[in-house]
Amino acid sequence: MSTTPSPPTTNACGTCALNNAANLRRLGVDPSGHDLVVALAGNPNTGKSTVFNALTGLRQHVGNWAGKTVDRAEGGFEYHERRYKLVDLPGTYSLLSTSEDEDIARDFLVFGRPDVTAVVVDATRLERDLNLVLQILQITTRVVVAVNLVDEARRHGITVDFRHLSRELGVPAVGMAARRGTGIEDLLDALERVALSPDSFDGRRVVHRNRRLERAVSHLAERITQHVPGVTNPRWVALRLLEGDPALERAVAEGRLRDLVADPAGPRSETVPEEPDA
């Protein structure tokens, strides 16, 4: 799967709104032959679709209101000679309760196993949106937090300390104003870094304050690792099982937990065939 030696930057980017992202080539709806898969998650109305459009060059309908995207949209882009498939997940407030849009988002994160997940958060509603980030970090630590709408936050007199945020979360956090096309380059860099990193990230794990719960989760997680060695997120699986998540109970009963085993080689290499649609 070889790519062209040098990305054509001049003609495509001369007219492009983001000409600082000179290495980005937007591939529209054609994610064929991709090397890496990026999931785009986030709360509703944080600008996921805007980020999606900025990266793929598509014009998916964007609207200033929550709950506009309920389906999974896919597109592609090329960055530093690697082809990425970008999957825009429905905006959800959490992955805890079960509605169809949350299921779509969660199933893709769990079983689609993207190489990296960009979680778009609203800088003006950081606390609320971090709930989702923390939940996603329990499923996967291959995460980049894209703090969007920093321009609006600034107008409200809010500034974000990205270094602190990155340190707390254990994964890169970048600031952006996707509507104006700023911060795309930082996001691309961070996505590439995480997707290609052979090491696993030390994402923030929520320690449960209730000690009995914490013990139960740890114990069950251990048992899961014994049964299916290599599961990336045993603690999350344990928690969901305790909560009685029917989808995961089914996965366990049918022995599909093995699907959750990470590749030993870290990020997926180019030799991996088209992954089955989750």
Partner 1 sequence: MTRSPILDETDRLRAELPENFRDDIVESLYAEAARISATSLSHAERPARPTLDKLLDRILTHRVWGFLAMGVLLFGVFWFTIAGAAVPSDLLSGLLVEHGHEQLTRLARLLSLPDWMSGLLVDGVYLSTAWVVAVMLPPMAIFFPLFTILEDFGYLPRVAFNLDRLFAKAGAHGKQALTMMMGYGCNAAGVTATRVIDSPRERLIAVITNNFSICNGRWPVLILLGTVFLGQLAPPPLAAVVAAASVTTVAALGVLTALVVSWGLSRTVLRGATSVYSLELPPYRPPRVWRTLYTSLIDRTLKVLRRAVTMAAPAGAVTWLISNITVADASLAAHLVDLLAPLGWLMGLNGIILLAYLVAVPANEIVVPTILMLTMTLGTNLFGAEQGVLLDLGTAETATVLVQAGGWTLLTAVNLMLFTLLHNPCGTTILTIWHETRSATWTAVATLLPVGLGIVVTSLTAAVARWAGWG
CB nearer to partner 1: pick between 242 and 265? 242
Instruction: Report, in angstroms and rounded to the nearest whole number, the Rg of the chain calculated over CA atoms.
Output: 19
**Distances, alpha carbon 57 to alpha carbons 22, 34, 78, in Å:** 14, 16, 11
Q: How far is the CB of 82 from partner 1 (least distance, A)?
A: 29
Contact residues for 228 (Cβ-Cβ < 8 A; gap 6+): 257, 258, 260, 261
Cα angle vertex 31, ends 30, 32, to 5°? 90
Q: What are phi and psi of 255, to 5 degrees?
A: 70, 20
Q: How far is the CB of 209 from partner 1 (least distance, A)?
A: 5
Q: How far is the CB of 52 from partner 1 (least distance, A)?
A: 14
Q: Which is nearer to partner 1, 174 or 238 (CB)?
A: 238
Rank residues 257 and 262 by Cβ distance to partner 1 and give the closer one. 257
Between 115 and 129, whose beta carbon lies closer to partner 1?
A: 129
Q: How far apart are alpha carbons 99 and 90 in whole angstroms?
A: 11
**Residues 97-116 as b or e (16 or more Cβ within 10 Å = b):** eeeebbebbbebbbbbbbbb
- Ramachandran quadrant class, 73 (left: phi over 0; alpha: psi -120 to 50; beta: rest): beta
Nearer to partner 1 by C-beta: 5 or 61?
A: 61
CB of 227 to partner 1, least distance (A): 6
Q: What's the min distance (Å) between Cβ of 61 and partner 1?
A: 7
Cβ neighbours around 196 below 10 Å, total: 15
**What residue ranges bind partner 1 (CB under 8 A)?**
44-45, 59, 61, 63-68, 70-71, 90, 96-101, 124, 126-128, 130-131, 133-135, 152, 155-161, 164-165, 168-169, 179, 204, 206-210, 212-213, 216, 219-220, 223-224, 227, 238-239, 241-244, 249, 252-253, 255, 257
CB nearer partner 1, residue 68 or residue 80 = 68
Residues in the chain: 278
Closest distance of CB 131 from partner 1, Å: 5
